[in-house]
Structure 1
Amino acid sequence: MRIYIASVFVDDLEKAQDFYVNKLGFVVKDSVKNEHFWWLTVTNPDGGTELLLEPNGHPAAQAYTEALRKDGIPATQFLSDDVEAETAALKEKGVEFTTEPTDYGHSVVSAFDDTCGNLIQLVQLKNQ
């Protein structure tokens, strides 16, 4: 068994697609529209696990994302080979960081705002 799709709730699918593709460099894997429904996943340019950009229209999803954000808890984590360089490159693209790269001994992390209701953490594992 392996992870196929993970998801994050977003408040605007068009804005999320623009951010995750044009700012972060992911590619659209699946984009299926049917009336009021839109199934949208992105993935790494070389494939792998997909990230479902899930509309947060349900009140429970809204409460969940608001609580995470209020408490400064990332909705998910993305792995980076070099968090400091990645943070600098994303800042050049206009991505706003809420936490600067911080070395915790076993890892280096930073966090950014995905503009769609979430904080996302970048993680560089130092002892792989």
Structure 2
Amino acid sequence: MHAIVYSKQAEETRAFFRDVLGWPSVDAGGGWLIFQSPPAEVAAHPTDGDGAHELYLMCDDIEATVAELKAKGVEFTTDVTDQGWGLLTEFALPGGGTMGLYQPRHPIAADMPHTGA
């Protein structure tokens, strides 16, 4: 899967992924970094609208992860809330927008071996 995060400050967002989240990357040319993300999974949720896409990072211990990211200067835009299916918060990205962070309470599809395209 190739996910795209649009930003008005793309270089700062790339630096955030590299320096704060610690994601390894390759340079596709001219400093255009493409990051290796953690294991991923995709879910389809019902909507009455035209549809939208959201991006969340998952963690095993949300309180420890929030503390670690705050120590690196990350600004959280919401408190951690209990959604039943997991614990959820959001943090600000350079250039605008937010990214979700959650500690799931459901089985993790990313833990399964990949057999599809």
Name the TM-score, length of structure 2 as normaliser: 0.70
Distance between the aligned counterparts of 1:40 and 1:11, measured in 2? 16
State the partner residue of 1:103.
82
Number of equivalences: 96
The one-letter amino acid paired with 1:81 is D
Structure 2 residues without counterparts, runs of 5 or longer: 41-52, 108-117
- Which structure has more strand as a fraction of its residues? 1
The one-letter amino acid paired with 1:16 is T
Distance between the aligned counterparts of 1:82 and 1:90, measured in 2? 12
Tell me the C-alpha RMSD between the 2 structures.
2.3
Flag the 1:39–1:122 CA change in 2: closer, same or farther, 3 A.
Answer: same
The one-letter amino acid paired with 1:43 is Q
1:127 aligns with 2:110: no
Give 1:14's match in structure 2, choosing from 5, 11, 14.
11
| Percent identity between the two aligned chains | 32
Q: Pick which of 104-113 and 74-83 moved more.
A: 74-83
Query: 1:83: how far off?
Result: 1.4
Distance between the aligned counterparts of 1:10 and 1:111, measured in 2? 16
Tell me, yes or no, if the aligned pair for 1:29 and 1:41 is still in contact at 8 Å.
yes
Tell me, yes or no, if the aligned pair for 2:62 and 2:87 is still in contact at 8 Å.
yes
- Which structure has more helix as a fraction of its residues? 1
Ranges of 4+ aligned residues in structure 1 off by more than 2 Å: none
The one-letter amino acid paired with 1:40 is L
Give 2:69's match in structure 1, choosing from 90, 102, 122.
90
Structure 1 residues without counterparts, runs of 5 or longer: 50-73
Tell me, yes or no, if the aligned pair for 1:75 and 1:118 is still in contact at 8 Å.
no
